[in-house]
Amino acid sequence: MRFALSGEQRQFAASLHELLSAVDTPAATRAWARGRHEPGLELWHRLAGLGVLDLLDPGTGAEPPDVAVAFEALGYHAVPGPLVESMVVAPVLSQGNGEIVTVLAPPEVPVALDADIAGLILRLRDGRAARVEAAELDRIRSIDPARRLFRVRGGREVPMEGGGDRPAAKAFDYAVLAVAAQLVGAGQWLLDTAVEYARRRSQYGRPIGQYQAIKHLLADVVTRLEFARPLVYGAAVALQDAENRAGAVRSGTVRWGTLTRDVSAAKVAAGEAAYLAARTALQVHGAIGYTAEHDLGLWLTKVRALVGAWGGAGFHRGRVLAALRSEAP
């Protein structure tokens, strides 16, 4: 299995970083948390110009590794909104048509992200997917203010088909892959920011980055991220291989449990790496990292929320264990 990105994928990643570095993403994220979506939607519009919103639409030629590339960049820059739901889950299910989409997948995803501005609410349950119409929404608090969560009550479910065999399972695993890539990207931003701060911040006449204790903390984060990233891209390649072999999952050539194992392992590793990056970045920054005015907090709360999004570590470890048991002779 080859993990190296192609030249086109590296160029795509560079274009995304260039675009997102040129705008004030933290300001858009803070506005989104206050219910002002215009700056964030303008950012989405710019991303659409690079084809990010249409990654998985038929005819684009994009594949799961391209999703990982895009969502690592989106996580690095903490772009707000229901990205996974609109850009991954909806296209896999042949839904959305470019509108904002939110998704429920109980019990792992019991609430809907940004349901108040979504043009479409989907529910994944018992291996099937359905549209939810005329539902009532109750806002609930999130650890990440920019993740505006809603309970969806009542409503009418309209069953739908799409996404080939096992549509809900396939959409769920694509979502997990995208969240894992976001976590790797967010963890990388936290590491880069902590390294830069350690170079500039002086104590006792020396930059704090020269102290062995700080070096060891940052080195541990580098190691975790470097182990997590190949798992994320390995899971993406596994999904791509299954997609390239039409009917492989149905025929038994590729067992879906194997793909589930790879995706869940990637989510666990990415979550642990990003969480370590968050704790380390906060420790390196000291008291200033706790202030609401510092951008660090936007990534700290996002990582904490994404670690549990689309299934927490316990759930995904359970899926890995179940897959390994099923493969045992």
| CATH classification code of 167-327 | 1.20.140.10
For residues 272-300, b (16+ Cβ closer than 10 Å) or e, as one string? bbbbbbbebbbebbeeebeeeeebbbbbb
Contact present, 134 and 92 (Cβ < 8 Å): no
> Tens digit of pLDDT per residue, the chain (329 long)?
556 788 899 999 999 999 999 999 999 999 999 999 999 999 999 999 988 988 887 667 778 899 999 999 999 999 999 999 999 999 988 887 778 999 999 999 999 999 999 999 999 988 889 999 989 999 999 999 999 999 999 889 998 764 444 678 889 999 999 999 999 999 999 999 999 999 988 778 787 777 889 999 999 999 999 999 999 999 999 888 877 765 444 434 445 556 889 999 999 999 999 999 999 999 999 888 888 889 999 999 999 999 999 999 999 999 999 988 887 77
- Domains of the chain, by residue range, sit at 167-327
Q: Which helix (H) or strand (E) holds 102?
A: strand 101-104
Q: What is the pLDDT of residues 301-319, one digit of tens each?
A: 999 999 999 999 999 999 9
Report the C-alpha gap between 53 and 66 in whole angstroms.
Answer: 12
* Whether the Cβ atoms of residue 279 and residue 303 lie closer than 8 Å to each other: no
pTM beyond 0.85, yes or no: yes
Query: What does the block give as tokens for 62?
Result: 């994009």
Beta strands 156-160 and 128-133, pairing class: antiparallel
Report the C-alpha gap between 311 and 319 in whole angstroms.
10
Q: How large is the angle between the packed helices 256-285 and 212-244, nearest 10 degrees?
A: 160
Chain mean pLDDT for the chain: 89
Q: Would you state the structure tokens that stand for residue 293, as one six-digit string?
A: 């005015």
Answer yes or no: are the C-beta atoms of 87 and 102 closer than 8 Å: no
Segment holding 130, helix H or strand E = strand 128-133
Indicate the residue type of 304: R
- The 10s digit of each residue's pLDDT in 212-258 is 899 999 999 999 999 999 999 999 998 888 777 654 444 344 455 56
Residue 177, amino acid: L
